[in-house]
């Protein structure tokens, strides 16, 4: 029997004035403790070559609460403060494993306010969630039901730049289990004219969410630029800009969820191209369009959903000439500018749609790797998943 999958269910809620004030204090204390612990760990290593771990920072937190300067840390629940220290430890673990950059200090203006509560710091009963040191339950909009009979293990409360409040409940979801196996396989070519082109010939339209709201965003940004810094009017104008960005992000994420869910349910094997989005964004002519297409987010969604439902995602090397290779006879053609959308093969006289041909070649290459074991599928960038198994880099010295 397979273990159930941990899944987060995110809902919007509307706090009372007292709850909002308490949460704002908690967010501030979480940010303060995180920054103090990061400064202490950095200073201890730079000055004394001393290692500081989670247990040491937890002892520091106890001492900080006893000082007059930081006595206000006792006014909020202690659990989110301890969780902040655990998150810092995880950040350092990722840094020394070469999966992430060195942890950065949290900014009041730029960092997202959030606080994480474990089971000892909240009560979930009869569909009502009450947090520690909170006056009454949260008014949550239950847009979808939680899995029947499950209880959340952690609760994360956050506020985005648009001022919206969200609560995320981490639960075991028994409904997530491998789907029945199928022989269906599909190659997927990412693009800009069309968001995705499948080896079946289907083309998924690029909704261009950012372009559709660009005029509204520009207007909101012009209003923001006219407001005096530090004024209440500027803060309201900033929230208007954030609301436009939130609308774009929500619509984009909704589109990607629907596409990736359909691909995973309908296909046993999904073959994609290992695009280096970070390098592509250096081309300022198409960087905005690439960011709007969200290729990296598409791949992340595809991979974790495939892991949930027992599917396979194969990433073909980015240097594979999928567009210039004839999917009918295998003839490799020379230079092919992006302006060429259709071309005729010199070897077999077959006429190809550039994107459909690329998707078919990706599918063939991916299936060859899966069946024959030829080569190793490209790994994600070291900053995201660590060094590949074929060549281990020396680990960094941990403070």
- Catalytic amino acids? 189, 273, 355
Rg (CA), the chain: 25
Structure tokens at 32: 């303060």
- Which region holds residue 373: left if phi is over 0, alpha if psi is between -120 and 50, else beta? left
Distance CA 143, CA 169 (A): 13
Q: Which of 155, 83, 156 is nearest to 124 (CA)?
A: 155
Structure tokens at 211: 């372009």
Structure tokens at 205: 């339209």
Q: Helix or strand or coil: residue 203?
A: strand
Q: How many residues does the chain have?
A: 399
Distance CA 27, CA 45 (A): 27
Structure tokens at 88: 């810092």
- Which region holds residue 5: left if phi is over 0, alpha if psi is between -120 and 50, else beta? beta
């Amino acid at each position: 029997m397979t273990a159930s999958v941990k899944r987060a269910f995110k809902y919007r809620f509307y706090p009372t004035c007292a709850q909002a004030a308490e949460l704002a204090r908690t967010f501030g204390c979480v940010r303060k403790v995180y920054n103090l612990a990061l400064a202490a760990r950095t200073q201890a290593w730079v000055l004394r070559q001393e290692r500081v771990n989670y247990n040491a920072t937890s002892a520091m937190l106890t001492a900080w609460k006893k000082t007059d300067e930081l006595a206000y840390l006792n006014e909020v629940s202690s659990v989110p403060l301890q969780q902040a220290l655990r998150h810092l430890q995880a950040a350092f673990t990722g840094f020394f494993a070469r999966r992430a950059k060195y942890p950065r200090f949290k900014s009041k203006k730029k960092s997202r306010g959030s606080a994480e509560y474990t089971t000892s710091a909240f009560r979930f009963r009869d569909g009502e969630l009450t947090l520690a040191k909170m006056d009454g339950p949260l008014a949550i909009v239950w847009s979808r039901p939680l899995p029947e009979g499950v209880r959340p293990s952690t609760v994360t409360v956050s506020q985005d730049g648009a001022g919206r409040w969200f609560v995320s409940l981490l639960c075991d979801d028994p409904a997530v289990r491998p789907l029945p196996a199928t022989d269906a396989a599909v190659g997927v070519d990412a693009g800009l004219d069309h968001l995705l082109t499948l080896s079946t010939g289907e083309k998924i339209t690029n909704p261009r969410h950012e372009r559709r709201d660009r005029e509204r965003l520009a207007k909101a940004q012009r209003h923001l630029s006219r407001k005096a810094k530090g004024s209440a009017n500027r803060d309201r104008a900033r929230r208007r800009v954030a609301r436009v960005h939130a609308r774009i992000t929500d619509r984009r994420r909704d589109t990607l969820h629907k596409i990736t869910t359909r691909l995973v349910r309908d296909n046993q094997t999904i073959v994609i191209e290992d695009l280096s989005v970070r390098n592509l964004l250096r081309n300022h002519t198409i960087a905005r369009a690439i960011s709007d297409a969200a290729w990296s987010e598409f791949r992340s969604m595809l991979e974790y959903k495939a892991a949930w439902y027992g599917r396979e995602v194969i990433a073909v090397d980015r240097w594979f000439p999928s567009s210039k290779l004839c999917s009918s006879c295998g003839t490799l053609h020379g230079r092919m500018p992006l302006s060429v959308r259709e071309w005729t093969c010199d070897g077999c006289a077959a006429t190809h749609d550039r994107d459909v041909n690329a998707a078919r070649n990706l599918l063939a290459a991916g299936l060859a790797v899966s069946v024959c074991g030829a080569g190793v599928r490209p790994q994600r960038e070291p900053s995201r998943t660590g060094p590949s198994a074929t060549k281990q880099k020396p680990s960094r010295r941990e403070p």
